[in-house]
Amino acid sequence: MSSTQAFTLTDLEDLPGWAHLVAIPESEVDDLAAEIQSQNGRTARIARGERCLTKERFLQELAAALQFPHYFGDNWDALEECLGDLDWLDTSHLTLIITNTDKLLTHHEADLGVFLTILQSVHELEESPLERVLFHCDEGKVAATRKRLHAILGKKGQ
C-alpha cells in the first residue's frame, strides 16, 4: 500500500506499532474516523494540528477532542494521567487522529518531543485504551513530516 492511500481498519490492524503517518486528503479524515468507530468497541477522536501551534493550544485541543474531565490540569503530567485512564470514554480501543501534523507545535520541537514521549509511555501501559495515534499530513508533506518526527524521536534517544 502506498503512503498516499487511506488506511482501512484492516490495514491498521496489520501494521506494527502504535504510531502511523497517514497521508490522505484532510477531507477523508472524518471518513477514516467513522470507519474506525464502526467497529464494535473502538473509538476515534480527531485533534486538529492547525489549532495546536503552542503547548497551551495543543492541550486545549486534546482536552476538547478527548473530553477530558473538568479536573484536567492543562500540563504535561495531567495529559499523561488522562491519556493513561480515559475511563470516561468507555472504550478499550482509542485511535487518536491528529490532522495536519506538519503544523502541530510548529517552532516548539521540545514540546512535541515531550508529547511523543508521553504517547510512548502511555502506550506501554498494560491496559491503556490508547491503541494508536495516526499522524495525518497531506500527500505532498509526507517526507518533511516523517523527517520532523524522526528527528525529534532521534533526539529523545540521545
Position 107 in a domain: yes
CA distances from 120 to 32, 34, 95, 113, 141 (A): 23, 25, 14, 11, 24
Position 12 in a domain: no
Largest CA distance in the chain: 42
> Are 101 and 145 in contact, with CB atoms under 8 Å apart?
yes
User: How many domains does the chain divide into?
Assistant: 1
Check which CATH number belongs to the domain holding 55 and give it. 3.40.50.300
Is the pTM here over 0.85, yes or no? yes
Helix/strand/coil for 9: helix
pLDDT at residue 52, as a whole number: 96
**Averaged over 70-85, what is the pLDDT?**
94
Which three three-digit cell numbers place residue 63? Answer: 482536552
Position 146 in a domain: yes
> Are 124 and 17 in contact, with CB atoms under 8 Å apart?
no
> What are 111-132's pLDDT values in tens digits?
999 999 999 899 888 788 898 9
Position 39 in a domain: yes
* 59: containing domain: 17-156
> Are 96 and 135 in contact, with CB atoms under 8 Å apart?
no
